[in-house]
């Protein structure tokens, strides 16, 4: 048996019966984490059969590398038992692992995945560990990160300035500090966490203040499923995901508001929860005084990538953390926690990282070697070759040099370990994204993909849909060739081309980027479209909007009148911003999607269980004024929606009633158009994509009402519907265009 870059090679000789049983048991009795993509067999030569005894040969790195690097996996039950067994030689050892669990992607330099090519190479195994490693009957047989207290990595406890504090049990001191309300920087699996007591407002506020993160929700870690159930509504399926080998953060609806700090996720109903996934996490919770819920947020400074090295963390987090809990096993690849939510019957990733990346995705077609560069926000990149694609871990927003370095280093790393030499590169249509500029500098043929088309194709790729489909893409912003900003689109989408069939009609984005960050600008500009200059009279304005300085309001209106720094947009995200500001939710967003998330939470209060049933009625009562045909393209009248919101709120309906109606009517309007296009084009498959589909009401409502119309509905699960999935769509769009251009030329 040999582990080669092309896969595992087994030579076996026996009678036909046992040999066939061996082949089938390879699949049936595969270890928990094994993913067998294919088994090829060929007969051995007589010479090869001689002297076959059980041997595992040294790995061979020469052949082409198509084997996946495994993702990092949460501590398994067997290791957990040993961790807590006083008689075990690894009792309370924070780096215990085995073939079924532990670090992988984060410690790999290159493949084949063997110890000398990982950051474990500096820890020679002791005799006991080596014996386990060499013994085929042992659970640690060829477990590359195998280690024990005598030979492996160690933890240490430090002051905020990095000076070490001598102690017997750093974890006991860490638990005490957390109970004390202190903020800790903890070195983990794929990077640092900032940790604090999630049950203490004082501790959470301290972390928020120091991290300059006023309101963005913070994820928490709790010791077990029972604790998660105490704080949240938890379906069995969600509990299964929480405890799966990947251990992602699962967004759950809060139910016990008293125990957790109010400031964890102000204004929204969901909280991100994960279970302990490294031995170190388990040991922290073993201490009686450790709080039962810990904030565990990315250890970074605002908009930078998470810190991985002790040096970088001390330099960047020294002003945030009171103490550091460090270790000396190097993190070679930075990987954040994955995040997702169960919606419309499936767990859907919003951030695909730890536990999932870089597992390859199986493709329905063959692609040339291709690199998809992604977009600007929530960036990922994607490598495609033959019938598989590797979607990178979440990289983040490419707005600063540090993130850009993370991006380019990750691309170089994955190209190297998978031994891919791209023939072509695909970028977003937006010429100014850092990812687009990167693509242009590679010296390869460059193809472009329209942002929302790429969103649609990502879902098509995940569900292996090869024929054209209808695509509903509800999103923030995306560049288009017509000089407007898109983001509320209904497309006829093929794998390499698309046609825009309909969209949300234009709102005016007055003041460029500021208009995205400050929802009040969208609210005011939408009112201007409805009532003209009257929107400047405070008597017409909702409370929050009238609190904006009158000269600032005047400037926005003047910009629109003069068409100065004003761009028409069909963005669904901006429509949500406008509505949120008109319902007095907020004037400014602290992070992308902030106002929209609060609007969803507000609407959820109105739309309780059974609301999907109400959709059918509303479909029948939908006013025709919601639709207009403009130059052959159907529009859903956004200002009409804004007017409806404004009128209802002014006439005394509660904000949550109005928000609920708004969701329902938007869902119905989109369904009506999709149904019409479905008949016209005889297509009955619809994909839902775009960042706004992270809104549970919107996604589940569309899922329900489109299915009710007899359509087959698909949306992202393993691949995020937000910009994290765009690079997967890109490799299809560019790859197909490349292949057809080449075949054209050779004709």
597 touches, from Zn ion, Fe ion, none (C-beta below 5 to 8 Å by class): none
Cβ proximity to Zn ion, 125 vs 175, nearer residue: 125
DSSP 258: T
CA proximity to 282, closest of 189, 356, 365: 189
Contact at 8 Å (CB) between 735 and 636?
no
Please, what is the minimum distance in Å from the beta carbon of residue 71 to Zn ion?
15
Strands (E) in 505-565, as ranges, are 507-510
Please, what is the minimum distance in Å from the beta carbon of residue 78 to Zn ion?
5
The interface region with Fe ion, picked from 142-150, 289-297, 501-509, 715-723 by CB under 5 A, is 715-723
269 touches, from Fe ion, Zn ion, none (C-beta below 5 to 8 Å by class): none
Cβ proximity to Zn ion, 123 vs 528, nearer residue: 123
Q: Tokens 């398994």 — which residue?
A: 76
Please tell me whether residue 98 binds Zn ion under the rule CB under 5 A. Answer: yes
564 touches, from Zn ion, Fe ion, none (C-beta below 5 to 8 Å by class): none
Q: Tokens 């017509």 — which residue?
A: 482
Q: Which residue is nearest to Fe ion (CB)?
A: 475
Please tell me whether residue 475 binds Fe ion under the rule CB under 5 A. Answer: yes
Please tell me whether residue 723 binds Fe ion under the rule CB under 5 A. Answer: yes
Checking DSSP bridges between strand 339-343 and strand 270-274, what pairing results, if any? unpaired
Q: By CB under 5 A, how many residues form the interface with Fe ion?
A: 2
Furthest CA-CA distance within the chain: 94
Please, what is the minimum distance in Å from the beta carbon of residue 276 to Zn ion?
14
Give the relative orientation of helices 594-606 and 572-582 as an angle to the nearest 10 degrees. 70
Q: Which residues of 291-321 are buried (b: 16+ CB within 10 A; e: fewer)?
A: bbbbbbbbbbbeebbbbbebebbbebbeebb
User: Two tokens at 173?
Assistant: 């001191």
Listed in sequence order, the residues at least 6 apart from 467 whose beta carbon sits closer than 8 Å to its beta carbon are 494, 685
DSSP code string of 12-72: ----HHHHHHHHHHHHHT--TT---------PPPHHHHTT--S--PPPB--S---SPPPPP
Please, what is the minimum distance in Å from the beta carbon of residue 123 to Zn ion?
8
Cβ proximity to Zn ion, 78 vs 440, nearer residue: 78
The interface region with Zn ion, picked from 73-81, 515-523, 582-590, 613-621 by CB under 5 A, is 73-81
Please, what is the minimum distance in Å from the beta carbon of residue 377 to Zn ion?
36
Please tell me whether residue 151 binds Zn ion under the rule CB under 5 A. Answer: yes
Please, what is the minimum distance in Å from the beta carbon of residue 431 to Fe ion?
17
DSSP 723: G
Listed in sequence order, the residues at least 6 apart from 3 whose beta carbon sits closer than 8 Å to its beta carbon are 9, 59, 60, 67, 112, 113, 114
Cβ proximity to Fe ion, 238 vs 475, nearer residue: 475
Strands (E) in 151-190, as ranges, are 155-159, 184-187
The interface region with Zn ion, picked from 95-103, 160-168, 301-309, 440-448 by CB under 5 A, is 95-103
475 touches, from Zn ion, Fe ion, none (C-beta below 5 to 8 Å by class): Fe ion
The interface region with Zn ion, picked from 145-153, 217-225, 359-367, 565-573 by CB under 5 A, is 145-153
98 touches, from Fe ion, Zn ion, none (C-beta below 5 to 8 Å by class): Zn ion
Please tell me whether residue 665 binds Fe ion under the rule CB under 5 A. Answer: no
Please tell me whether residue 126 binds Zn ion under the rule CB under 5 A. Answer: yes
Please tell me whether residue 79 binds Zn ion under the rule CB under 5 A. Answer: yes
Q: By CB under 5 A, how many residues form the interface with Zn ion?
A: 10
Distance of alpha carbon 70 from alpha carbon 398, whole angstroms: 26
Distance of alpha carbon 331 from alpha carbon 108, whole angstroms: 9
Please tell me whether residue 76 binds Zn ion under the rule CB under 5 A. Answer: yes
The interface region with Zn ion, picked from 18-26, 68-76, 193-201, 264-272 by CB under 5 A, is 68-76
The interface region with Zn ion, picked from 78-86, 421-429, 515-523, 692-700 by CB under 5 A, is 78-86
The interface region with Fe ion, picked from 173-181, 379-387, 474-482, 537-545 by CB under 5 A, is 474-482
Please, what is the minimum distance in Å from the beta carbon of residue 153 to Zn ion?
11
Please, what is the minimum distance in Å from the beta carbon of residue 131 to Zn ion?
10
The interface region with Fe ion, picked from 238-246, 468-476, 510-518, 623-631 by CB under 5 A, is 468-476
Contact at 8 Å (CB) between 364 and 218?
no
Please tell me whether residue 508 binds Zn ion under the rule CB under 5 A. Answer: no
Please tell me whether residue 592 binds Fe ion under the rule CB under 5 A. Answer: no
CA proximity to 636, closest of 655, 623, 646: 623
SS3 224: coil
Cβ proximity to Fe ion, 72 vs 475, nearer residue: 475
Cβ proximity to Zn ion, 76 vs 268, nearer residue: 76
Distance of alpha carbon 360 from alpha carbon 356, whole angstroms: 9
Please, what is the minimum distance in Å from the beta carbon of residue 437 to Fe ion?
19
SS3 686: strand
Please tell me whether residue 489 binds Fe ion under the rule CB under 5 A. Answer: no
CA proximity to 142, closest of 73, 55, 62: 55
User: Two tokens at 254?
Assistant: 């809060």
Burial class from Cβ neighbours inside 10 Å (0-12, 13-18, 19+) for residue 712 reads: middle
CA proximity to 669, closest of 622, 629, 712: 622
Footprint (CB under 5 A) of Zn ion, residues 541-600: none
Footprint (CB under 5 A) of Zn ion, residues 212-231: none
- In the complex, the residues that contact Fe ion under the rule CB under 5 A are 475, 723
- In the complex, the residues that contact Zn ion under the rule CB under 5 A are 76, 79, 98, 100-101, 126, 129, 148, 150-151
């Amino acid at each position: 048996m040999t582990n080669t870059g092309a896969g595992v090679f087994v030579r076996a000789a026996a009678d036909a019966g046992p040999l066939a049983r061996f082949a089938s048991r390879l699949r049936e009795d595969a270890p928990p984490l094994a993913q067998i993509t294919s088994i090829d067999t060929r007969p051995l030569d007589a010479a090869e059969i001689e002297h076959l005894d059980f041997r595992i040969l040294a790995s061979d790195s020469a052949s082409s590398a198509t084997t996946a690097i495994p993702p990092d996996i949460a501590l398994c039950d067997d290791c957990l038992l040993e961790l807590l067994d006083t008689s075990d030689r690894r009792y309370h050892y924070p780096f215990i692992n085995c073939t079924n669990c532990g670090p992988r992607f984060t410690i790999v330099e290159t493949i084949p995945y063997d110890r000398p090519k990982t950051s474990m190479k500096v820890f020679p195994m002791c005799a006991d560990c080596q014996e386990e490693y060499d013994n085929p009957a042992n659970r640690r047989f060829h477990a590359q990160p195998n280690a024990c207290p005598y030979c492996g990595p160690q933890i240490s406890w430090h002051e905020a300035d990095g000076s070490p504090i001598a102690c017997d049990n750093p974890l006991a001191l860490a638990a005490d500090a957390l109970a004390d309300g202190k903020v800790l920087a903890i070195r983990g699996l794929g990077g640092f966490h900032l940790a604090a007591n999630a049950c203490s407002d004082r501790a959470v506020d301290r972390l928020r203040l120091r991290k300059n993160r006023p309101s963005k929700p913070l994820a928490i870690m709790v010791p077990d499923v029972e604790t998660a159930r105490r704080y949240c509504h938890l379906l069995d399926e969600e509990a299964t995901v929480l405890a799966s080998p990947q251990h992602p953060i699962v967004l759950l609806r809060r139910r016990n508001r008293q125990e957790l700090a109010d400031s964890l996720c102000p204004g929204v109903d969901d909280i991100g929860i994960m279970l302990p996934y490294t031995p170190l996490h388990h040991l922290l919770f073993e201490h009686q005084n450790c709080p039962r819920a810990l904030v565990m947020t990315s250890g970074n400074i605002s908009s930078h990538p998470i810190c991985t090295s002790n040096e970088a963390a001390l330099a960047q987090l020294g002003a945030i953390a009171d103490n550091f809990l460090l270790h000396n096993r190097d993190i070679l690849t930075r990987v954040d926690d994955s995040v997702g939510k169960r919606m419309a019957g499936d767990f859907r990733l919003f951030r695909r990282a730890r536990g999932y990346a870089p597992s390859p995705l199986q493709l329905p077609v063959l692609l040339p070697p291709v690199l998809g560069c992604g977009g600007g926000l929530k960036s990922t990149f994607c490598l495609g070759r033959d019938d598989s694609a590797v979607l990178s871990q979440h990289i983040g927003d490419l707005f600063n040099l540090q993130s850009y370095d993370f991006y380019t280093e990750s691309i170089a790393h994955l190209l190297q370990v998978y031994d891919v030499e791209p023939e072509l590169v695909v970028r977003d249509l937006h010429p100014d994204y850092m990812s687009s500029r990167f693509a242009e500098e590679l010296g390869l043929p460059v193809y472009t993909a329209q942002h929302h088309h790429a969103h649609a194709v990502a879902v098509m790729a995940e569900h292996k849909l090869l024929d054209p489909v209808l695509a509903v893409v509800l999103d923030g912003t995306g560049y288009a060739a017509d000089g407007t900003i898109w983001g509320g689109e209904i497309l006829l989408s093929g794998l390499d081309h698309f046609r825009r069939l309909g969209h949300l009609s234009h709102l005016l984005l007055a003041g460029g980027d500021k208009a995205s960050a400050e929802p009040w600008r969208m609210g005011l500009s939408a009112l201007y479209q409805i009532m003209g200059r009257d929107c400047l009279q405070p008597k017409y304005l909702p409370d929050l909007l009238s609190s904006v300085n009158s000269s600032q309001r005047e400037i926005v209106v003047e910009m629109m009148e003069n068409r100065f720094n004003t761009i028409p947009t069909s963005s669904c995200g901006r429509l949500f911003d406008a509505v949120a500001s008109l319902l007095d939710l907020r004037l400014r967003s602290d992070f992308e999607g902030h106002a929209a998330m609060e609007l969803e939470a507000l609407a959820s209060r109105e739309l309780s269980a059974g609301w999907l049933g109400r959709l059918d009625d509303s479909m029948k009562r939908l006013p025709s004024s919601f639709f207009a045909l403009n130059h052959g393209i159907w529009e859903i009248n956004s200002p009409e929606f804004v007017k409806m919101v404004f009128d209802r709120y002014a006439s005394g309906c509660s904000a949550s009633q109005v928000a609920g109606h708004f969701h329902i009517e938007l869902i119905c309007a989109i369904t009506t158009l999709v149904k019409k296009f479905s008949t016209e084009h005889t297509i009955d498959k619809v994909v839902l994509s775009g960042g706004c589909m992270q809104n549970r009401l919107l996604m589940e409502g569309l899922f329900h009402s489109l299915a009710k119309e007899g359509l087959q509905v698909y949306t992202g699960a393993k691949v995020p519907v937000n910009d994290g999935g765009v690079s997967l769509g890109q490799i299809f769009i560019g790859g197909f265009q490349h292949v057809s251009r080449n075949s054209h030329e050779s004709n």
